[in-house]
Chain A
């Protein structure tokens, strides 16, 4: 393959890999608020300029920042959160590469107008944005597979994206870790932007105590 420009746009990302931390945070967010619609963003480390431009950099989602579980249809809080997250990323060499959403209703798993609006905004700075809709129907306290459907913003619409979903360190390990976290009710420690608004000393960008918990249970 000939060398490609910096923005991976020619790489088709037939695989999307979720690091354990990102995967657990998404699942724990939807578990903490089972009666609410939830959403958040997905991050990875920025590619360093010293890295060789091989054009085949694996697409790994390394972390997730849970944002809302209330006021889905109004925009100000989401706007503020996204701007804060963008600035946080600048300061910690991360970039937003995805958006996740879970709808309120069990059978309603299609991306809606809110998903489209937010994805379009995020896709302005990252055209390869991955949109992850959590499939409520596939959820379980003992997960059997990653309950995700992937989409991409193409010409102003969200189109399904064909890609294999990989979990790190491996499928079984990730699924059993997240199930253990659910059994241990670790989702109660998760902090999202809505929690941060009630108490701004809570760190929703990093979720440090949850990160520790995930580390502990995965080893």
Chain B
């Protein structure tokens, strides 16, 4: 639904923007809409938060390719913080937007020269390589970056996706495992690893996928992706001819439990009221046969 219909005042808009900053949400279209409808004319009321909001809206408006808003905000930020590296980054992002990638690269190199310990310019260079389709180079640069900044989770996650896009599943697994080491309480990372292992296929990978989905469910029992993944892995294992019968029994129990859970959750909704039960039964049957 249109965000401007949900929000009634500039204070609510400001709170929503703050929530999205805290929770790392992109939501560029919503951010720009809120700025146009509520925040733009009330910027002065935001106090010191104003600058951080302006940065957020500048990035969102560049993401929406709304150059007028972006340029206004960047100019104002530059006037207020003429020597700021963060504002410099925004200017470089603007160069990217305009397709001036060479100039952007030069700007980032200059930033690195000024301060080699600032991790952001390295990452933005890699982002430019990615957007130019130079994936192999991007992977190489990112691997080198991670040798120096090894606890950068954002970078590990990015490298994981780059490897996946190149079909290098083993390396993607390595990156995903780094994320599990850093944030073992985060169910997303376990689920992601489960997805990758399932995609790789084969009995050993399916067993690993099963254990990762189980861990994700332990951490967040309401995750539908984890329970679907659990069902898929367990059902593949329970119908695989090379799995010993004793193990098959165990996997079949997991399948039964998963089916029960999924059916319970769907029966709590009124989606597809008429055909739901048959459809679900059909899904479970079909997936178990396919193995």
A and B touch in the complex (CB under 8 A): yes
Instruction: Point out residues on A near B: beta carbons under 8 Å.
Output: 35, 71, 73-77, 79-80, 83-84, 86-88, 90-92, 105, 107-108, 113, 185, 188-189, 197-198, 200-203, 205-206
CA distance A83 to B280 in the complex (A): 10
Residue B287 interfacial (CB < 8 Å): yes
CB of B269 within 8 A of CB of A74, answer no
Which B residues fall within an 8 A CB radius of A? 1-2, 26, 28, 63, 131, 133, 161, 164-165, 167, 192, 194-196, 198-199, 209, 224-225, 228-229, 231-233, 265-266, 269-272, 275, 278-280, 282-283, 286-287
User: In the complex, are the beta carbons of B164 and A202 less than 8 A apart?
Assistant: no
Closest chain B residue to A184, Cβ basis? B2
Which chain B positions have C-beta within 8 A of A86? Answer: 282, 286
**Within the complex, which residue of A74, A87, A108, A113 is in contact with B279, where a contact is CB–CB below 8 Å?**
A87
Which among A74, A76, A88, A200 is the interface contact of B266 at CB below 8 angstroms? A200
- Which residue of chain B is the closest to A108 with respect to CB atoms? B133
- Beyond A73-B161, A76-B228, A87-B279, 16 additional contacts (C-beta under 8 Å) are A73-B199, A74-B195, A74-B198, A75-B198, A76-B198, A76-B232, A79-B232, A79-B287, A80-B283, A83-B286, A87-B278, A197-B225, A200-B265, A201-B270, A202-B271, A203-B271
Query: In the complex, which of the residues A185, A188, A203 contacts B272, with contact meaning CB atoms closer than 8 Å?
Result: A203
C-alpha spacing A198/B224, complex, angstroms: 7
Instruction: Evaluate whether A74 and B232 lie within 8 angstroms (CB atoms) in the complex, with A188-B1, A189-B1, A200-B266 already known.
Output: no
Closest approach, in angstroms, between the C-beta of A182 and any C-beta of chain B?
12
* CB of A31, distance to nearest CB on chain B (Å): 10
Chain B nearest CB: distance from A82 CB in Å? 10
**Taking each of B63, B167, B280, B282, which has the highest tally of chain A beta carbons within 10 Å of its own beta carbon?**
B282
Instruction: Please state if B198 and A84 are interface contacts (CB–CB under 8 Å).
Output: no
| Residues of chain A within 8 A of B231, CB atoms compared | 80
A154 CB to nearest chain B CB (Å): 22
Bound: A113/B166 CA distance, A: 10
Alpha-carbon distance A24/B209, docked complex (angstroms) = 37
Given contacts A90-B282, A91-B278, A113-B167, contact A200 B198 (CB under 8 A): no
B220 to chain A, nearest CB (A): 12
* Listed A/B pairs (20) with beta-carbon separation below 8 Å: A73-B165, A74-B164, A74-B199, A75-B195, A75-B198, A75-B199, A76-B199, A76-B232, A77-B228, A79-B287, A83-B287, A90-B279, A91-B275, A107-B133, A189-B1, A197-B228, A198-B224, A200-B265, A201-B269, A206-B272
A-B pairs, top 6 by smallest CB distance, nearest first, are A87-B282, A74-B195, A201-B269, A73-B164, A91-B275, A87-B279
What is the minimal beta-carbon distance from B264 to any residue of chain A, in angstroms? 11
Residue from A73, A84, A88 with most neighbouring chain B CB atoms (10 Å): A73
Query: In the assembly, what is the distance between CA of A189 and CA of B282, in Å?
Result: 28
Known: A88-B275, A185-B2. A83 touches B283 (CB 8 A): yes
Q: How far is the CA of A197 from the CA of B164 in the complex (A)?
A: 22
> Contact between B232 and A80 (Cβ–Cβ < 8 Å)?
yes
A90–B271 CA distance with the chains assembled, in angstroms? 17
Q: A202 to chain B: which residues have CB within 8 Å? A: 271
Known: A74-B196, A80-B287, A203-B272. Is A35-B26 also a contact (CB below 8 A)?
A: yes
Closest residue of B by beta carbon distance from A36: B26
Contacts of A92 in B (CB 8 A): 275
Q: Which residues of B contact A80 (CB under 8 A)?
A: 228, 231-232, 283, 287
Q: Provide the bound-state CA to CA distance between A88 and B275, in Å.
A: 8
A197 pairs with B286, CB closer than 8 A: no
- B108 to chain A: closest CB distance in Å? 21
Please give, as numbers and ranges, the residues of chain B lying within 8 Å of A83 by CB-CB distance.
283, 286-287
CB neighbours of A91 from chain B (8 A): 275, 278-279, 282
- A residues less than 8 Å from B233 (CB atoms): 76
Asked if residues B133 and A205 are in contact (CB atoms below 8 Å), the reply is no
C-alpha gap A91/B164 in the complex (Å): 35
Interface centre among B1, B133, B232, B233 (most CB of A within 10 A): B232
Within the complex, the shortest CB–CB distance from A120 to chain B, in Å, comes to 15
A70 to B11: give the CA distance in the assembly, Å: 32
Task: Tell whether, in the assembled complex, residue A76 and residue B195 are in contact, meaning their CB atoms are under 8 Å apart.
Answer: yes
Q: Which of B196, B198, B232, B283: most chain A Cβ within 10 A?
A: B283
